[in-house]
Amino acid sequence: MIPLAHFMFVSAALFCIGIYAVLSKRNAIMILVGIELMLNAAILNLVTFSKHDKFEASGQVFALFAIILAAAAVAVSLAIILNVYKYYRTIDPTKIDNLRN
Amino acid sequence: MSVEQIIFYVFAAMVLSSALFVVATKNLVHSIFLFFITLFSMAGLFVFALADFIALSQIVIYVGGVLVLMIFAFLLSNKQILDNPKPMRSRFLGIHHLPGIFVALVFFLVLIWTISLVDIGQLQWVKESQENTVKASDNTIHYIGINLMTRYLLPFEVVSVFLMMALIGAAHLARKERKV
Amino acid sequence: MDTITQETTCILALVATLMPLLSFAGILLVPGRTDRGAFFSILNISFSLLLSVLVFIKVWDQPVVHQQLEWFTIGNWHFKAGILINNLSALMLLLISLIAALVHIYSLKYMEGDPYLFRYWAYLGLFCFSMFGLVITDSLLLLYMFWELVGFSSYLLIGFWFTRKAAVQANKKAFIMNRLGDLGFLTGIMIIFTQFQTLDISLLFSEGGFVSHATIQNGFWVFSSNKMPDIWLTIAGLAFFFGAAAKSAQFPLHTWLPDAMEGPTSVSSLIHAATMVAAGVFLLGRIYPIFNSEVLLVIAVIGAFTAFMAATIALVQNDIKRILAFSTISQLGFMMLAMGVGAYGSAIFHLITHAFFKCLLFLSAGAVIHEMHHLKEKYKLDIDHQDIRLMGGLRKFMPLTFITMLLAALALIGIPGTSGYLSKDAILIQAFEWSEGQAGFWKVIPYSALITSWLTAFYISRLIFKVFFGRLRLNDICGQTFSLHEAPKIMTYVLVALATFCLFPFFSFNPLHYEHSWIIEGLNVVSNIGRVNIYHTLIPAAVNLFAVLIIYLSFTWYVKRGKSPDLSNSALFRFAENQWYFDKIYQNSFVNGILLLSRSVFAFDKAVVDGFVNLLGRATVLIAGLSQWLDRRVVDGVVNGAGSVTKIIGNFARHFQTGRLQHYLVTMLLIVLSFFIIKYFSQAI
């Protein structure tokens, strides 16, 4: 039996890697990847604790919802990134600093 | 140390190392493929958390959906996105990375410290859930199905509508404009 | 006469007065060609003439017509405006409308082709209106207003050719001179009002009016409860006379009249010979009872002096219109003399007869000028078309003009059979009768008048002989033979019509005795001068015999021998030619004096007032500089300091606002972390 704390250590490490990606990357897609990493860390936590909630399985249901939402978010943000690239000829978020017109 | 534990740590190590490579590499294509490994390993960790349905969903949705979507988006869009436009001159510890690294490390330390402060096995609700604890032989899908169709029916429907909207929206945004 | 006919008469007179105003307003307000208005104004003035005749018939030798309305009220004083028509005003009304109508008709041809002719007709209308108003009004205040209007319209008409500098100068001069006179008139009105509390002419000056009730007691001029030192009576009389002197061009305000000849000749004949200048005499006639004996003496002296002076000046002038202008001044002097010696009726009588023959003289001269002008235009000669030295022999070219002018000249000299004989002799005879009762020195006055009448005979015969007899001297000068034409028909009709009025039957059926004239009888003045029979035969005989001699003398000088003794270098000649240096004296004393005064005031203004103002300005500038320094260094310093601090803070804060999401995120996470850490440590502690 693996202690819950170990799951949480992995999750914490993953989350911090995600934070680093989000804060440091100069590429929108990599930022998106970082967000996905953070989401995965959160999902891992949810799933881990749902071990003690057999009948209601709230953690797993929420993990499902989170996965679905993450998928939707990825779809929409990719579309947005493509449009941004079409408009600015770059996807570096530090250079996208003016509103349209 | 049992085999189970060894496998778990192997998976954990894979997740963390591949994730580190994902964020560290300068090649976008490499990072995407490494992200592939990260997500797979995550699914393995889910299995160890006794959530086999979530692990399957992770593989189906993330690996089959999200990653494929990303790769398709890259392939469909300008080649320049694939070739990292500026070959990153700055190293891993570039000056603009410092705040990110600093924040991530501090965050990590805080989290570790917090987790280590709490003895999760001795928590009240964990102790009281003896009956409620999932065993490796239990079928969790049964309960998930019942809950989705009873207790979480409304979120479920909302999420389904939301998903459809997101798809339509993504398709709308990504379409080629006929005229500017 | 009952009230209803009185009202009718008043309305007739009022309409007669308003008709010219109608033509004035109509011509100015209705747009059209620039030479419009001729027939409209002739129609109106003819209507006025008709009404005047009706009024005259109704009023002459009848009780006075007087109607009035409340005009305005100040405090307890009620000012009334109304119409007062007695024999004098009815006569004046008729005279003015008759001469005005004839001049209107004459102008039709004389002014033909002048640009902006509608102004001429409009101004003539305004003038006639004010003149009519002046003679029929019953209030001194209204009289004064019309007096001013007459002066103003005269100003407009003198300056009708306002593009000529001389005309502008002349109308300015006339206006200023008249203004001086108006000052006197106004003073008189104020004194009268102070004493009698009313300005109603019929109340004041009618028989048994206020003025005759006022008496002199112990050096005071007393009327009911009011009294003032009797010097005021004299001052009032002198003030009124001063006003009249300005209008009638008497010494010392006579210099405007010769200059006023810059206006069109028809205007000169209407205004400066027949009507406006007579307004002064009319005024004296209207307010005659106010004058005491001292004032009358002054009037007589000034009248005699003016008459003599103007006659001497007229002897040597060469401009046809200027000769007539000085002749007018001289004749007006006669009228004043008559007023002064108490021959009220004779003065008015002479006013009437003089109006006709002087108007005729001017119009005939106008005809001559008209033709000379045509000649000048036709051959493009560089001559003065009014200079009598260039004329001569015009009798052959313009016989009708010659005959009418001759008649007028005879009337001016006073040859028996003409109207002038009656009126002029009346004045002379009464002057002599008056001198019987005077102290030694004043006996000079009638003799000067006698000499003046002989001078008159000389200058007018000189004019006639030079213009109409001999040869056309223009031919000699230009070496060409010119010929002239008779004046246009309409003009000659007017001349003939006026000429008939120069004959005696219109004024008296007895050609030799003025006392039988209906005007003298109609004016019905009780003369306090004893009749001295000897003068009534001696004077006319002496005057006429001597006049004939003088005419013969001038005939020999100017026609027979063709040259006259050259006196042009003698001092007297130059003295007369320069019009007794009055213009120069006025120029040097008044005009230059005022200029000097203005200059000194200017210098004072510049040095003292401006200096003070500039000092003030400099002080202000200094203070302003100080306050500016204070403002810039201290106040602005504080403000700028506040601004700089804000700017520094803003610049500092700006660094956080980079527009980069990732920086925001870093900040946000750092803050979250800090909260975490603080929370834990605080718990741990």
Give B129 to chain A, closest Cα distance, Å: 6
Is B45 contained in some domain? yes
Out of B99, B100, B107, name the one closest to residue C673 (CB). B107
Determine whether the interchain pair A37/B19 forms a contact, defined as Cβ–Cβ distance below 8 Å. yes
Compute the average pLDDT of residues B80-109.
68
Task: Tell me which residue of C29, C170, C39, C33 sits closest to C115, measured CA to CA.
Answer: C33
Residues of A in contact with C658 (CB under 8 A): 97
Cα C484 to the chain's mean position, in Å? 34
Out of C47-51, C259-263, C585-589, C662-666, pick the least confident.
Answer: C585-589
Q: Which pLDDT value is given to residue C205?
A: 77
Q: Does pLDDT of C193 surpass 60?
A: yes
Total of domains in chain B: 3
The Cα-based distances of C334 to C241, C305, C308, C540 in angstroms read 15, 9, 9, 16
Q: Does pLDDT of A15 surpass 90?
A: yes
User: In which band, very low, low, confident or very high, does the pLDDT at C3 lie, cut at 50, 70 and 90?
Assistant: low
Out of C666, C676, C680, name the one closest to residue B99 (CB). C666
B106/B150 same-domain check: no
Is B93 contained in some domain? no
| CA pair distance C210, C197, nearest whole angstrom | 10
Give C623 to chain B, closest Cα distance, Å: 60
B153/B177 same-domain check: yes
Give C669 to chain A, closest Cα distance, Å: 9
Task: Tell me which residue of A84, C663, A88, A92 sits closest to B86, measured CA to CA.
Answer: A92
Give A1 to chain C, closest Cα distance, Å: 31
Residues of A in contact with B174 (CB under 8 A): 78-79, 82-83
| CA pair distance C477, C471, nearest whole angstrom | 12
Residues of A with CB under 8 A from a CB of C: 19, 22-24, 93-94, 97
B129/B151 same-domain check: no
B43/B65 same-domain check: yes
- Total-model pTM: 0.62
Interface size, chain B vs chain C, as Cβ–Cβ contacts under 8 Å? 16
B33/B65 same-domain check: yes
| CA pair distance B49, A8, nearest whole angstrom | 11
Task: Tell me which residue of C406, C412, C442 sits closest to C424, measured CA to CA.
Answer: C412
Task: Tell me which residue of A92, A25, C430 sits closest to B35, measured CA to CA.
Answer: A25
End-to-end CA distance of chain C: 133
| CB of C370 closer than 8 Å to CB of C487 | yes
Q: Which residues contact C6 (CB under 8 A, 6 or more apart)?
A: C65, C66, C67
B19/B79 same-domain check: yes
Out of B103, B113, B114, name the one closest to residue C669 (CB). B103
Out of A59, A65, A78, name the one closest to residue B69 (CB). A78
Determine whether the interchain pair B107/C670 forms a contact, defined as Cβ–Cβ distance below 8 Å. no
Out of C661, C666, C669, name the one closest to residue A93 (CB). C661
Compute the average pLDDT of residues C153-175.
83
B38/B69 same-domain check: yes
Q: pLDDT digits over C288-344, tens only?
A: 888 888 888 888 888 888 888 888 888 888 888 888 888 888 888 888 888 888 778
Residues of C in contact with B114 (CB under 8 A): 680
Q: Going from the N-terminus, what domains does chain A have, and what CATH number goes with each?
A: 4-93 (1.10.287.3510)
Out of B100, B103, B110, name the one closest to residue C676 (CB). B110
Residue of B nearest to C680 (CA): B114
DSSP states of C442-507: GGHHHHHHHHHHHHHHHHHHHHHHHHHSS--HHHHHHTS-----PPPHHHHHHHHHHHHTTBGGGT
Give C644 to chain B, closest Cα distance, Å: 31
Is B94 contained in some domain? no
- CATH number of B33's domain: 1.20.120.1200
Q: Which chains touch C (3 or more CB pairs under 8 A)?
A: A, B
Compute the average pLDDT of residues C219-223.
76
B65/B141 same-domain check: no
Whether omega before C416 lies within 30 degrees of 0, making that bond cis, reads no
- Residue B149 domain boundaries: 136-180
| CB of C677 closer than 8 Å to CB of B110 | yes
Interface size, chain A vs chain B, as Cβ–Cβ contacts under 8 Å? 228
B123/B84 same-domain check: no
Determine the residue type at C344. Answer: Y
Residue C267 burial by CB count (10 A; 0-12/13-18/19+): exposed, middle or buried?
A: buried
Determine whether the interchain pair B132/A53 forms a contact, defined as Cβ–Cβ distance below 8 Å. yes
B22/B104 same-domain check: no
Which site among B107, B112, B116, B117 would you substitute to test the C interface, given the most C Cβ atoms closer than 10 Å to its Cβ?
A: B107
Q: pLDDT digits over C538-562, tens only?
A: 777 777 788 888 888 877 777 776 5
Q: Which pLDDT value is given to residue B90?
A: 47
A24 versus C521: the higher-pLDDT residue is A24
Out of B78-92, C389-403, C640-654, pick the least confident.
Answer: B78-92
Percentage of chain C exceeding pLDDT 70:
93
Q: pLDDT digits over B132-179, tens only?
A: 788 877 788 888 999 989 999 999 999 999 989 988 888 888 776 665
Percentage of chain C exceeding pLDDT 90:
2
Q: pLDDT digits over B41-89, tens only?
A: 999 999 988 888 999 999 998 888 888 888 877 776 655 555 554 554 5
B12/B62 same-domain check: yes
Q: Does pLDDT of B21 surpass 70?
A: yes
Give A81 to chain C, closest Cα distance, Å: 15
Out of B104, B169, B173, name the one closest to residue A19 (CB). B104
Q: pLDDT digits over A27-83, tens only?
A: 888 888 999 999 999 999 999 988 888 888 888 999 999 999 998 888 888 888 878
B82/B108 same-domain check: no
Residues of B in contact with A1 (CB under 8 A): 4
Which site among B110, B112, B115 would you substitute to test the C interface, given the most C Cβ atoms closer than 10 Å to its Cβ?
A: B110
Residues of C with CB under 8 A from a CB of B: 662-663, 666, 669-670, 673, 676-677, 680
